[in-house]
């Protein structure tokens, strides 16, 4: 069996094409697609508990069955091959392989990922493993969750189990997916599991997620072959002030600090930014939270930075007495997911079309974000690990799913990637979110991000027009003319 490894020596291809070796993939997350929530030793994660809590998830939906990927992975991999995908980014369910979050692995759980990886390799598709996509074992949350330092210790043990089982066949690894969401939506605004609304705990969780990342990198480096690639995925916010006022500029600075630099600072520079510490000093004592050696651990080098982008973040100081949005369209809550900056107001870009999530469609935001990261961290290889959009998709009488809005969205954002590459950004690949429709967290099954339509009643898969368009992009290694489907 041939192990598919990432190409780390990219060369610029002709102008109309993407770089030679550019990776074309699609992504999913374990709780969103796998189902089989109580099979083969798996125990509840925080998302099992949260989705069963009345009023937390739309329509009372749960991930018990989801897209049934656990039982249908062979068919799903065959569909990936049909579409020409070169890589598949999946996440591992911690509760499936180490049900209590501590102790030995359950081999039946690991066997699912072994079989999935083997199926991908046999199809010529590179497996990209993400260790954590938000589904903390419930027993660890019962012990305090991410606000407790010990959870980072448990994560290192878990990383050792998974990399030990799959490291001979998986060549690209991601430690965490979007720790901003885990920390701030889970412990700040409470719109994600575990549903807590404690600003101080949210900041503690952010630090311990950073620490967990660093400890996992240490484990991966110790256990994986030298050629293996490591990364972390951040949903970096492309922050813009609403106006040119000094007050709005400071609002943007605050959100950049608590949303972006709280992660990139320690991970990529080995330090927390001073303005973040000042902004949040009334919530946590950073001198006690950050222990000796933490920053050296967190800043272990990675081979690439994964970037997830959907829409820009536009902020201002609120007008006196006016109602204003606190949540940046991540879910309704009276509690802010921005600890220390609860007073900042968020806005949608004017004059822009919106997705079914009510997010502004703005490819220029992706271009700007890539160039900002390139400027701030020169020489750091980048991956677009999530990009996509939800629209109100439906099956036509002819049995097809036409989604021209998604095709236009993807074309615009891939064009932004291509422009950024031409201007010096070292972008190594693009992973469409998502391969298929799935459990969209607090929105349940009401939002469809997939390139493949899932009829949840029958579990039938129907590739949308965007799936065929993306397949053509992969085949061409270039963008087709606008309007091509």
CA-to-CA distance for 127 and 117, rounded, in angstroms?
Answer: 6
Cα angle for residues 369, 205, 448 (degrees, 5° grid): 55
Q: Which residue, among 236, 286, 287, has the nearest Cα to 263 in the 3D structure?
A: 236
Taking the CA atoms of 246, 252, 257 and 261 in sequence, report the sign of the dihedral they define: negative
Q: Is residue 94 within 8 Å of residue 158, measured between CB atoms?
A: yes
Catalytic residues: 178, 386
Q: Which residue, among 27, 163, 33, 186, has the nearest Cα to 98 in the 3D structure?
A: 163
CA-to-CA distance for 67 and 71, rounded, in angstroms?
Answer: 9
CA-to-CA distance for 135 and 162, rounded, in angstroms?
Answer: 15
CA-to-CA distance for 353 and 408, rounded, in angstroms?
Answer: 11
Beta pairing partners, 478? 17
Tokens of 359: 């997010």
* Residue written as token pair 């095709």: 407
Per DSSP bridges, beta strands 460-463 and 452-455 are: antiparallel
């Amino acid at each position: 069996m041939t192990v598919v490894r990432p190409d780390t020596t990219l060369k610029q291809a002709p102008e109309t094409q993407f770089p030679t070796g550019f990776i074309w993939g699609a992504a999913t997350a374990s709780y969103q697609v796998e189902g089989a929530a109580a099979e083969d030793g798996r125990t509840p994660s925080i998302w099992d508990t949260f989705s069963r809590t009345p009023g937390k998830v739309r329509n009372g939906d749960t991930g018990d069955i989801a897209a049934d990927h656990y039982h249908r992975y062979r068919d799903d991999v065959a569909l990936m091959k049909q579409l020409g995908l070169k890589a598949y980014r999946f996440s591992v369910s911690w509760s499936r392989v180490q049900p209590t979050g501590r102790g030995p692995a359950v081999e039946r759980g690991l066997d699912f990922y072994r079989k999935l990886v083997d199926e991908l390799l046999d199809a010529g598709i590179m497996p990209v493993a993400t260790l954590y996509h938000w589904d903390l074992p419930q027993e660890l949350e019962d012990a305090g969750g991410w606000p407790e330092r010990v959870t980072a210790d448990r994560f290192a043990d878990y990383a050792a189990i998974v990399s030990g089982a799959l490291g001979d066949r998986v060549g690209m690894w991601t430690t965490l997916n979007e720790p901003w969401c885990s920390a701030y939506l889970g412990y700040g605004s409470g719109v994600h599991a575990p549903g807590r609304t404690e600003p101080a705990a949210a900041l503690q969780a952010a630090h311990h997620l950073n620490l967990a990342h660093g400890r996992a990198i240490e484990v991966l480096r110790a256990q994986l072959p030298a050629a293996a690639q490591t990364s972390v995925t951040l949903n970096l916010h492309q922050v813009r002030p609403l106006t040119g006022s000094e007050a709005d500029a400071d609002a943007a600075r605050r959100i950049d600090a608590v949303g972006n630099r709280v992660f990139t600072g320690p991970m990529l520079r080995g330090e927390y930014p001073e303005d973040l510490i000042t902004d949040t000093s009334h919530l946590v004592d950073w001198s006690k939270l950050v222990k000796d050696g933490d920053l050296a651990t967190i800043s272990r080098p990675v081979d690439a930075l994964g970037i997830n982008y959907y829409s820009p973040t536009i902020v201002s100081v609120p007008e006196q007495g006016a109602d204003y949005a606190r949540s940046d369209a991540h879910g309704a809550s009276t509690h802010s997911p921005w600890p220390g900056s609860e007073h900042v107001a968020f806005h949608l870009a004017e004059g822009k079309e919106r997705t079914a999530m009510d997010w502004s469609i703005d490819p220029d935001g992706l271009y700007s974000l890539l160039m900002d990261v390139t400027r701030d961290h020169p020489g750091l290889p980048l991956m677009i690990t999530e990009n996509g959009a939800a629209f109100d998709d439906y099956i036509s009488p002819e049995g097809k799913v036409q989604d021209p809005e998604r095709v236009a969205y993807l074309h615009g954002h891939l064009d932004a990637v291509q422009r950024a590459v031409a201007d010096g950004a070292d972008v190594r690949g693009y992973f469409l979110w998502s391969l298929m429709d799935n459990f969209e967290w607090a929105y349940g099954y009401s939002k469809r991000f997939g390139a493949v339509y899932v009829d949840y009643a029958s579990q039938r898969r129907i590739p949308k027009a965007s799936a065929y368009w993306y397949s053509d992009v992969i085949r061409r290694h270039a963008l087709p003319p606008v309007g091509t489907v």
